[in-house]
Amino acid sequence: MSTENLKQQLEYSQQTLGPEHPQTLAVWDSYIESLIASYCIDEAIEELSNLVAVYEQTRGKYHLETSVVRSKYAYFLRQAQDMDQAYEEYAIVAEGFRYVNGELHPDTLFVRQQFVECALELGEYEEALPLLQSLLNDCRYVFGPTNPATITTWKNYVTCLSELERDEQALAEGRELLPTCLNVLGPDHRDTVYLQGMYATLLRNCGHLAEAAEQFGYALAGRRHLYGPEHPRTLNVWTQYASTLAEAGQFKQALPELRSLLDAYRRATGEDSPETLEAWNTYALYLYEARAWWEALAQYEALTQFHENNQGEYGRDTNIARGRYVLCLRAVERYFDAFAECAKVVEGCRKVYGDKHFVTLHARTEYAHCLVDLHRYDEALAAWAALLDDSREVNGPESEKTLSVWNHYAWTLFHAGRVSEAEVEYEFLIEETVRILGADHPFTKNFREVAQRVATHLDKK
């Protein structure tokens, strides 16, 4: 029977028999199923809401039949991404199943799982954590530790710990759960593949980069098999795998992966998609980190031109790419080119952010370095002095950024041949650094080493 005919039959039954009559309820259920089969989800949700109201009025709020219909209503609310309403409905369903079946009945446990998953999707992690702990214990007791329902709850528990940044605790749980997933669900199961990626992320967050890279490799193989080589979920894990290799200093493996990943993003999402541009930036960044400066230079030059064509000479992304292009130019000792490009960066930052924004201050710092590279010491000293005043105003006189600028000013005095003045600056700088950061801080140790070099040079004279 067609959906329209079922609708007409339902209207007739409601008028002649009443909405609570068993025949009406049966037709109503068939009509809702037909709406769902026709992908008319919004209409189905509306009918389910009305049907829940009839059951609640005639059977009671916590009657089993009411709870079954309400559970279906909550399910489709969740499918429609109406998480707040789904969360409220599942809470009522859970109470209904507890009332009728008890806390440990499998149906109750299933509904409790749906309820807590809504809490996770709403970001209510603090509320979800104790619910998950209790549910996990109950699932282990009722189903056993290797039942798929227990594993799903365990996976959600690890996810919740991770979202709450309890990484060490989440890592310990994940290390125990992963072998269970592999043995019970298999390496290609969605939950196993998901957990491998999360476990790798936790390893990386806890500083275990080599092991994290290995696990990301397993997760990548799983996602390629499950979703395909260029599915968004596959590309996401591929990004993490390649980046983790780079973070671990394994550039020989990382750079070819990052290059291939960039090509994959271009094929899958287009040349100028945000995902492609992020992959391009990542590839260029790690080329620079690997000291492959000429290759990085070529990438950042192309990125700068790309953003300039799309955003203009002083666009935000243009400034960022050009700033990194400047670093590459300095690395390959193309100092005049670096100076010219850095001047554009400073002008762009001033136009976009103003003269004393932290982004502009960073650009002005690079500009002063470029002046030093060109041995234009008088101009560099003026730039450092202005920066020092502005940093004291913006960041505060006791900020590490301010102390760093002060160090650059003193060191430039030394380079300019004004050695006595440099020695005096370092005396004041070290005294302040010890007071602010302490005698054992890396800044203090570094400044003392530099001051010693200045003093040694002065003694030789």
In whole angstroms, what is the distance from residue 377 CA to residue 156 CA? 60
pLDDT number for residue 228: 95
pLDDT number for residue 458: 59
pLDDT number for residue 454: 84
Q: What is the pTM of this model?
A: 0.81
pLDDT number for residue 188: 87
Question: Does 1.20.58 match the CATH number of domain 394-461?
Answer: yes
pLDDT number for residue 127: 95
pLDDT number for residue 61: 93
CA 311, 315, 317, 322 torsion: positive or negative? Answer: positive
Strand, coil or helix: 228: coil
Domain borders along the chain are 394-461
Secondary structure percentages of the chain, helix, strand, coil, to 5: 80, 0, 20
In whole angstroms, what is the distance from residue 163 CA to residue 190 CA? 20
Place of tokens 């040694």: 456
Query: 190: which residues sit within 8 A by CB, 6+ positions away?
Result: 226
In whole angstroms, what is the distance from residue 66 CA to residue 92 CA? 10
pLDDT number for residue 460: 55
> Rounded to whole angstroms, what are the CA distances from 251 to 23, 293, 327, 336?
70, 13, 19, 30
**Grouped pLDDT means (10 residues each) for the chain, 461 residues:** 89 92 93 93 94 94 94 94 94 94 94 95 96 96 95 96 95 95 91 93 95 95 94 96 96 97 96 95 96 97 96 92 96 97 95 92 96 96 96 95 96 93 93 94 93 75 50
In whole angstroms, what is the distance from residue 319 CA to residue 342 CA? 9
Instruction: Render 90-156 in DSSP notation, one character per residue.
Output: HHHHHHHHHHHH-TTSHHHHHHHHHHHHHHHHTT-HHHHHHHHHHHHHHHHHHH-TTSHHHHHHHHH
